[in-house]
Amino acid sequence: MRPRYPLEYVLFEDRYPDLDGKAVREAMQVMDDGYLAQDYYRLARMMIPLREGREETYTFDDYSWTEHISRKLGMWHLDPREMLEQLEKRGFFLTGDRTDDS
């Protein structure tokens, strides 16, 4: 079975909690550790190739969930600003800059 986020990051009642950067990093680390412990990407032979001209700096020893998801999102959104704009529209201000008065 693939690793999952810890329950405290996905199971809420009545409202979403305010997760700070540290909490998000901890959840992502749990995912990374789980995938690495299972050797998931090595066994599945899944490493999304980088765009042409970019040097590969990962091996299956350290390629994990965070890198895989980042590359997958990069395939769909070539310009990271597109993704940031969509997240902002939904109330997630990852850059710390808000474009409106909310």
The pair of structure tokens assigned to 77 is 């959104």
- The residues near 88 (Cβ < 8 Å, ≥ 6 apart) are 94, 98, 99
Whether the pTM exceeds 0.75: the reply is no
Domain ranges of the chain: 7-12+19-89
Give Cα 100 to chain centroid, integer Å.
25
Per-residue pLDDT tens, the chain, 102 aa: give them: 888 888 888 888 998 888 888 988 999 999 999 999 999 999 999 999 998 889 999 999 999 999 999 899 888 877 888 888 888 998 888 776 665 554
